[in-house]
Structure 1
Amino acid sequence: MNQKPKKRKEVEAIDVPDHRHCEICGRVVPPNEKYCSPKCEEKAVKERKSMERFRKIWIAILVAFTIFMVIQILLRLQA
């Protein structure tokens, strides 16, 4: 089958001032800042703490499972 290559739309170059976007809500912020407001910064701190807690719990579950499996293997070798 003959498929025609898709033509890309040409986009005009627009001079955009140097900026970043808030890591939480996506609003435009100056290049030296991460968040647009203290509220977003607070939310980011809460999310970071939550992720750290989740990661620690997940590691604890994996360690407990590994220990459980090793104990099971050792018990089977004894029998």
Structure 2
Amino acid sequence: GIRVPDNNICRAIVKELGNPIVSTSIRDEDEVIEYTTDPELIQEKWDNLVDIVIDGGYGDNIPSTVIDLTTDQPEVVREGKGSIEIM
């Protein structure tokens, strides 16, 4: 699958590299929040496991829209952030 983020930092990195990057959301064990979006907490927890953490400010906790394009007919797997109007 591919992810097309609405984030200027991610798009600038991809443009500069000239190819896509691999990334993931950071699932949180906390029962209150589903994903960690605080850059300082991410740095604290993952600093020894990643090459770099870029502080672009707080993110949001709205899951992305997922569309299955593996068949002739696109199928919405999960509707979240991101318009499905083009379907």
TM-score (norm 1): 0.20
Pick the structure with greater CA Rg: 1
TM (normalized to structure 2)? Answer: 0.18
Which structure shows the higher helix fraction?
Answer: 1
